[in-house]
Amino acid sequence: MSTSTTFLTFDGIVAGYGGGDVLRGVDFTVHEGGVTCIVGPNGSGKSTLLKTVSGLLHPRLGQIVFKGTALVGKTPREILKLGIVQVPQQHSLFREMSVEENVSLGAFLVRDRAEVARRLSSVREMFPIVASRAKDKAGSLSGGQQRLVEFARCLMLEPELVVLDEPSMGLDPKTLRSMFDTIKLMNEMGRTVLLVEQNARQALKLSHHGVVLENGQVRLSGTGKEVLNNPEIGALYLGGTIKAGPEMHPDVTMEETD
Amino acid sequence: MNGTAVLHSIIDGVLTGSVYALMATGLTLIFGVMNIINVAQGIFVILGAYLSYALSVHLGIDLFVGLAITIPTLFVVGIVVERVFLSRIKGPERVVMSILVTYAISLVIEGVLNMVFSANYVELHAWYANRSVRVFGFYLGYIYLLGFGLAVVLLGALYVMLYRTRFGSSVRASLADQTAAALIGINVRRVSTICFGLGVAVTAAGGMIYGATNAFNASSSYDLISRLLVIIVLGGMGSIGGALVAGIMMITIEDLVSVVWGPVWSNLAFFLILVVVLSLRPQGLFGKPSVRVA
């Protein structure tokens, strides 16, 4: 698959909540057809950056352009219509609704019922849990199962870009592996993926591109492999073993709190 | 006290309670979707009653036929109030601010109603308002039966809207999680505005039945809002099922206490139940703990 076309660009994004700016001029490009992973320490602005893509947060300065269309100022609904779907960090299924109803709601913007049914059946093939637990309340599923149903729901819109905010959060190692396999599968099916991950090593391994965010700015970007193999980055964010300078904290955790 | 009187009070309670449940459902729907406590709900009920009064006295329109005018009118009033006042309230103080703003709206409407209709008590009249039917050895007023029927029909319509329509899905999704709802393309702002309109619209029906069973003036809204708030807190803030159960339960118990121990105890029982239930289940009967932090 080609990973060269410019698809989504961040140009000087400055954004924050109320008082201060969390993002202080973020510039980078997401290429079509690839998996782009953003890593960085706690509070570096990873989740905040994703919120600016989905329209949950409007940047104070800068522009985000998706296939020639400016995203800043658009509502989450308008951004969904352009083909960008976000799965948020916190579980976002409607707990009291059934699994099937949750997944169907992923195609809320599609009014043609036959089309929704067609998409539902194709999503069922990819995620057997959508069929096997169809009538169960979403709240009764385990964390990993809920994550899969969230993935299934986001595919109902047949998005061009899937934005995932720390999808591994709270998952056990086995579930984690199958979750990363699913991300890979989504990408192979033609979805461009932009994700923020705390399991940086695993995420960068499957990513075509890696971006390191620090203090609200891009510290480094390159191929997933380049970022993974960068010694300084390795020591800072990936639990590497090379000697770290006095200002560096090799044991920094990657949990996002913003 | 005898068995018939107790049965009578229970049936009376269920019939009247269903109308309260309807009005409380509107209030809890507004809170659930918007995180707004609409203390103007009581005055909207009275506004609905006065609209029915005006249509019936000045134009000779039957109370139930008049609902075809009063329900849409209050729906529009709700939409305007939401757009002009409530949509501007944002931020962490939203719940508290909403109480102040809706209280101010309530005072303004109360003042206008007092100016237009005076503070004298009025009652709605219709041929069925003073007639009754004999059941199990006691008389049930037509108006109570009709009120119950109206509440059932409107609550049924609300149920169908919530569980069988696309808009209903968007309401339930917004009730559960506004951010998640926005991320699947639901226009939460629009849903909020329409829900406020619907929540206020049901007061037209509630107000008509209230006015046909009680003499009222604009100040009657205070008693109404305190009861409605007790009902939704008891049922669990934001829980529609909770509002239904608590509405019927509270009015039935109140009626029952009134018959068994005397009317002076009924108000006390009403609020005592609230205190007891909340001390055991702070989230109310059907509320979820820590789902919403006001």
CB atoms within 10 A of CB B196: 27
Min Cα–Cα distance to chain B from A52, Å: 12
Is the distance from CB of B142 to CB of B133 less than 8 angstroms? yes
User: Which one-letter amino acid corresponds to residue B189?
Assistant: R
A96 interfaces chain B, CB cutoff of 8 Å = yes
Nearest 5°: CA angle at B255, between B244 and B158? 20
pLDDT on residue A11: 94
A110 interfaces chain B, CB cutoff of 8 Å = no
pLDDT on residue A238: 63
Backbone conformation region of residue B91, classed left if phi is above 0, alpha if psi is from -120 to 50, else beta: left
A78 interfaces chain B, CB cutoff of 8 Å = no
Return residues 119-158 of A near B (CB < 8 Å): 153, 157
In chain A, which residues have their Cβ closer than 8 Å to the Cβ of B32? Answer: none
Q: In degrees rounded to 5, what are phi and psi of residue A21?
A: -90, 130
Q: Which residue has the higher pLDDT, A181 or A241?
A: A181
Q: In degrees rounded to 5, what are phi and psi of residue B188?
A: -65, -35
What whole-number percentage of chain A has pLDDT above 70?
Answer: 88
Give the pairing type, strands A209-214 and A35-39: parallel
Q: Is residue A160 part of a domain?
A: yes
In chain B, which residues have their Cβ closer than 8 Å to the Cβ of A106? Answer: 184
Residue A79: pLDDT over 50: yes
pLDDT on residue A72: 93
pLDDT band at A169; cut points 50, 70, 90? confident
Q: Which residues of A155-170 are buried (b: 16+ CB within 10 A; e: fewer)?
A: bbbbbbbbbbbbbbbb
CB contact under 8 A, A77 and B176: no
- Report domain extents, chain B: 21-219
CB contact under 8 A, A77 and B177: no
pLDDT digits (tens, 9 = 90+) for A97-114: 999 999 999 999 998 999
Residue A248: pLDDT over 80: no
CB contact under 8 A, A81 and B185: yes
Is the distance from CB of A227 to CB of A204 less than 8 angstroms? yes
Min Cα–Cα distance to chain A from B181, Å: 9
Q: What's the predicted TM-score (pTM) here?
A: 0.83
Tokens found for residue B179 = 């951010």
Name which of A56, A94, A153 is nearest B177 (Cβ-Cβ). A94
Residue A234: pLDDT over 80: no
| ipTM of this complex | 0.81
pLDDT on residue B1: 57
3-state secondary structure of A93: coil
Pick the closest to residue B51 from B155, B122, B107 (CA basis): B122
Chain B residue with minimum CA distance to A55: B183
pLDDT digits (tens, 9 = 90+) for A110-131: 989 999 999 999 999 989 999 9
Chain B residues with CB within 8 Å of chain A CB: 166, 169-170, 172-173, 176-177, 179-180, 182-187
pLDDT on residue A239: 57
* CA–CA separation, A69 and A56 (whole Å): 17
pLDDT on residue A129: 92
CB contact under 8 A, A108 and B186: yes
Mutate: best of B90, B169, B177, B184, partner A, most A CBs <10 A: B184
DSSP letters for A100-143: HHHHHHTTTT---HHHHHHHHHHHHHH-HHHHHTTTSBGGGS-H
* CA–CA separation, B98 and B88 (whole Å): 10
Q: Which residue has the higher pLDDT, A249 or A142?
A: A142
pLDDT band at A91; cut points 50, 70, 90? confident
Task: Determine the average pLDDT of the residues in A46-57.
Answer: 93
Name which of A77, A88, A96 is nearest B180 (Cβ-Cβ). A88
Nearest 5°: CA angle at B193, between B228 and B79? 80
User: Which one-letter amino acid corresponds to residue A99?
Assistant: V
CB pairs under 8 A between A and B: 53
The total of structural domains in chain A comes to: 1
Chain B residue with minimum CA distance to A54: B183
Is the distance from CB of B36 to CB of B229 less than 8 angstroms? no
Domain that holds residue A206: 6-237
pLDDT on residue B293: 37
Which segments in chain B show pLDDT lower than 50? 290-294
pLDDT digits (tens, 9 = 90+) for B106-134: 999 999 999 999 999 999 998 888 888 88
Pick the closest to residue A60 from A77, A78, A72 (CA basis): A72
* CA–CA separation, B67 and B16 (whole Å): 18
3-state secondary structure of B285: coil
Min Cα–Cα distance to chain B from A19, Å: 13
Name which of B172, B183, B187 is nearest A88 (Cβ-Cβ). B183
Tokens found for residue A177 = 């592996």
* CA–CA separation, A54 and A67 (whole Å): 15
Q: In degrees rounded to 5, what are phi and psi of residue A251?
A: -95, 15
CB atoms within 10 A of CB B132: 14
Pick the closest to residue A164 from A146, A150, A178, A176 (CA basis): A150
Chain A residue with minimum CA distance to B291: A95
Min Cα–Cα distance to chain B from A76, Å: 6
In chain B, which residues have their Cβ closer than 8 Å to the Cβ of A92? Answer: 177, 179-180, 183
pLDDT on residue A241: 44
What whole-number percentage of chain A has pLDDT above 90?
Answer: 63
Residue A255: pLDDT over 70: no
* CA–CA separation, B28 and B236 (whole Å): 9
* CA–CA separation, A35 and A191 (whole Å): 9
CB contact under 8 A, B169 and A76: no
